[in-house]
Amino acid sequence: MNESKPSVTLCEVKCWIRFTTVALLFFTASAVFATRRERIIDTWRPTHYNVQITLNNELTEIRKARTEITVVTLKPGVSFIDLDFGELSVDSVTLNRRAAHFKHSSGLLRVNLPRQMAKGTRLVVAVNYHGVPKDGLVMTRDKSGNPAVVGDNWPNRVHHWIPSFDHPSAKATVAFSVTAPHENLVVANGSLVGAQNTFPAMRTWTYSEVVPIPPHCMIFAAGNFAKFNVESPHTRLEYYVPRADEPFAQKGFASAAPSLKLFSETVAPYPYEKLALIVGATQFGGMENSSAIVFGSNLFNPVANAQISPTFGVRKALVQLIAHEIAHQWFGDSVTQETWSDLWLSEGFATYFAGLFVQEHDGKAAFRQYMAGNADAYFAFARQRRIPLHDTETEDLFRLLNGNNYQKGAWVLHMLRSQVGDDAFYPGIRAYYSAHKNGTATSEDLRKALTAASGSDLKHFFGNWVYGAGHPHYELTWTWNQEKRSLRLNLKQTQPEGVFLNSLPVEIVTSAGPQRIVLRPRSKDLVEEVPLGQAPASIKVDPDETVLKELTVNGPV
């Protein structure tokens, strides 16, 4: 996801309802941080949702709805199913088609089972309800003034309109049957099964998503859209935009098909049945719902003094945003973070892969500018909070939409790529994706995949950059000894955290040309003597910008 700013920066959020402690252990040079409490999958798991919704004529209310949740018990003795569900009115609940006893209060719908169930028991809980959702399903008017309904669930707002297990790890398949006035188009996750006239002047649209997706990515959108079908060899590509945006849609989304091509060829084939790009209602700049991305209603609005992509002829920020949200289809949607502590596996990946798209189409200089902007955004965040990337403490999930999970996460991937090389980085990423496709993953899963691909011991790297806080503050002082014809380099690290063990490339420029060496700190104070034939004219630290750092260079002394 991307928050509603003109450039690719942050995104997403989280609140919670019922919490269960999750032991999140990690290795650092210090100890275990305080642990956030999250709901975990321990007694039952949802496997499929069948969501049937009938909207009223004005698209301002759910006239009636029925959601059937197929669940499987995970241990013996389960006596109830506790669904997250908001404030909508519950009309009835059934269990395997028989009336069930239930209690609905404080955001929970507890369905009592007639007896304690054995492990592996399959149950179907059906909830009939109606009303106006408080959140999650946005009932509004589009920029053309027409009524519209759009799902906007991140991080755990789907339970306001779908009874569910509202945590990213509780992935399941989903089917939507949405009945709306016939003048509207409806789009949802998955493939269109069919659309047929039902009540007078109403039409029912049925979609089916056959691979498991996170609950916050389960959405539909209904409205008086203009629709475009676009040729792409990688999947069915569709655009749904308000009528006012019809003249701009094809040029505005011109980078979508190339994004699909790059990520499909770099990582793996596109994981879903189609990709719909929807301009609608979201509190973020973009929301990466599986196979049905929603962008904010101002997506194609002109922006004064905006930088223009030389490749696509639209705002650079628009190109980056589209690539960011499409990259999420692989990272965040198909491979989902197991807990909120690893949100960077979603947002950091999407931010970095948007940068790889910039590199592919606008060149290396544009990529370096993009990464420099990400570094600046992270440093601004770090001046306010220095916390680990693997954040087990932050309770307010909206505060996870920060320079750590987006920009620092992107830089961690860039540093890993620089450290192990492209020949190990990309196979490692592909192995990580393949192992966790349609499931969940942790930082440790990524470390193990890249370790296997590169043969490098990455424990210290992850200890510094993922499980530890901050970044290195380097102060390099250099002295030339004419008599010994030797260059003395003194590299100090002044950050409040411990030593960062990153190798640091240094380019020494003399009249004979540039020469590169690599400094390998083992403490916060490193002194190295470099024999040289001539006095250095200049020193360039990390000339290719491969380390996230703050730097001061003093010399000659």
Rounded Cα distance, 245 and 255, in Å: 17
Tell me 331's DSSP state: B
For each of the chain's 557 residues, which pLDDT tens digit applies? 775 443 333 333 332 222 222 333 333 333 344 577 899 999 999 999 999 999 999 999 999 999 999 999 999 999 999 999 999 999 999 999 999 999 999 999 999 999 999 999 999 999 999 999 999 999 999 999 999 999 999 999 999 999 999 999 999 999 999 999 999 999 999 999 999 998 889 999 999 999 999 999 999 999 999 999 998 999 999 999 999 999 999 999 999 999 999 999 999 999 999 999 999 999 999 999 999 999 999 999 999 999 999 999 999 999 999 999 999 999 999 999 999 999 999 999 999 999 999 999 999 999 999 999 999 999 999 999 999 999 999 999 889 999 999 999 999 999 999 999 999 999 999 999 999 999 999 999 999 999 999 999 999 999 999 999 999 999 999 999 999 999 999 999 999 999 999 999 999 999 999 999 999 999 999 999 999 989 999 999 999 999 999 999 998 75
Query: To which H or E segment does residue 286 belong?
Result: strand 284-287
Report the C-alpha dihedral over residues 157, 437, 464, 547, rounded to 10 degrees: -100
Find all residues with CB under 8 Å of 534, minimum gap 6, and list them. 485, 510, 511, 512
230 within 8 A of 188, measured Cβ to Cβ: no
Residue 199 has a pLDDT of: 81
Nearest to 346 by CA among 357, 335, 358: 335
Report residue 322: phi and psi, to 5°. Answer: -65, -45
pLDDT number for residue 26: 34
Beta bridge partners of 37: 21
pLDDT given for residue 314 in this prediction: 97
pLDDT score recorded for residue 555: 83
Cβ contact 86:205 at 8 Å: no
Give the model's pLDDT for residue 213: 98
Q: What is the C-alpha separation between 42 and 434, in angstroms, rounded?
A: 25
Q: What is the pLDDT of residue 114?
A: 97
Q: How far apart, in whole angstroms, are the C-alpha atoms of residue 510 and residue 532?
A: 9
User: Nearest-5° angle of CA 414, CA 3, CA 171?
Assistant: 80
- State how far the Cα of 120 lies from the Cα of 492, in Å rounded to an integer: 58
The reported pLDDT for the residue numbered 3 is 57
User: How many residues can be counted in the chain?
Assistant: 557
Query: What pLDDT, on a 0 to 100 scale, did the predictor assign at position 4?
Result: 43
Contact 163, 83 (CB under 8 A): yes
Q: Residue 416: helix, strand or coil by DSSP?
A: helix
Please give the radius of gyration of the chain, using alpha carbons only, rounded to the nearest integer. 26
| Predicted pLDDT at 35 | 74
pTM: predicted TM-score of the whole model, two decimal places: 0.93
Instruction: From residue 245, give the alpha-carbon distance in Å to each of 225, 355, 369.
Output: 9, 27, 30
Tell me what pLDDT residue 1 has. 78
**pLDDT for residue 7:** 38
* pLDDT value of residue 29: 34
Q: What is the DSSP string of 437-495?
A: TTEEE-HHHHHHHHHHHH----HHHHHHHTSS----EEEEEEEEETTTTEEEEEEEE--
Angle between helices 409-420 and 344-362 (to 10 degrees): 60
